[in-house]
């Protein structure tokens, strides 16, 4: 089953809607969706390395736009949808502390968390909830998210063929590693941050 999913994802890279799917996943991940766009961007970049930076820029812009949606959830819908999403990720009891941290370190929080596998939706919703300056938020999100995806694109472009060989020979191990990174981000948010 995993092999079929991997083959399907690689075939998506050559399809006419690959970039649209990547855009939608990157957008949704920044506001509510649990999976990072790397699930699509990595296989797409491995399949078409000449488009690595194009995919990275697409993810950066889409993630920033999705971040604006997350900001709106935090600013306008926090008591209903925003709080539900935050509690879904186990972060509800830490919102007051996170909001206080924004008063002193908001720019650093957005920049640093935007570069990590920690779920960015928590940053976007909290930014809106905390009333962080909107234009500064958008600028910092664009910088951090684009840099994150460009770094991944550079690594894949530089080491793409060995990465592809590793993934294809050890597909189950690669899936476990990706799962550990995603779950690890949630664990860090819940127990460390």
Q: pTM of the entire structure?
A: 0.76
pLDDT digits 0-9 by tens, 121-172? 888 988 998 889 999 999 999 999 999 999 889 888 888 767 666 666 665 6
Domain ranges of the chain: 2-192
pLDDT digits 0-9 by tens, 101-113? 887 888 888 888 8
pLDDT digits 0-9 by tens, 63-121? 999 999 999 998 888 888 877 877 776 766 777 777 788 878 888 888 888 887 677 88
SS3 assignment for 83-152: HHHHHHCCCHHHHHHHHHHHHHHHHHHHHHHHCCCCCHHHHHHHHHHHCCCHHHHHHHHHHHHHHHHHHH
């Amino acid at each position: 089953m995993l092999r079929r999913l991997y083959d399907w994802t690689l075939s998506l890279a050559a399809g006419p809607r690959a970039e649209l799917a990547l855009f939608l996943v990157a957008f949704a991940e920044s506001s509510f969706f649990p999976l990072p766009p790397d699930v699509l961007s990595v296989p797409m970049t491995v399949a078409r390395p000449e488009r690595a930076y194009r995919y990275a820029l697409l993810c950066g812009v889409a993630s920033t736009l999705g971040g604006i949606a997350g900001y709106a959830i935090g600013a306008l819908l926090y008591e209903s949808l925003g709080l539900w999403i935050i509690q879904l990720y186990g972060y509800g009891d830490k919102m007051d502390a996170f909001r206080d941290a924004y008063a002193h370190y908001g720019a650093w929080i957005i920049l640093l968390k935007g570069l990590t596998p920690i779920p960015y939706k928590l940053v976007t919703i909290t930014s809106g909830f905390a009333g962080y300056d909107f234009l500064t938020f958008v600028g910092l999100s664009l910088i951090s998210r684009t840099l994150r995806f460009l770094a991944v694109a550079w690594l894949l472009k530089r080491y793409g063929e060995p990465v592809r060989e590793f993934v294809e020979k050890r597909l189950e191990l690669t899936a476990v590693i990706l799962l550990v990174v995603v779950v690890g981000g949630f664990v860090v948010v819940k127990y460390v941050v």
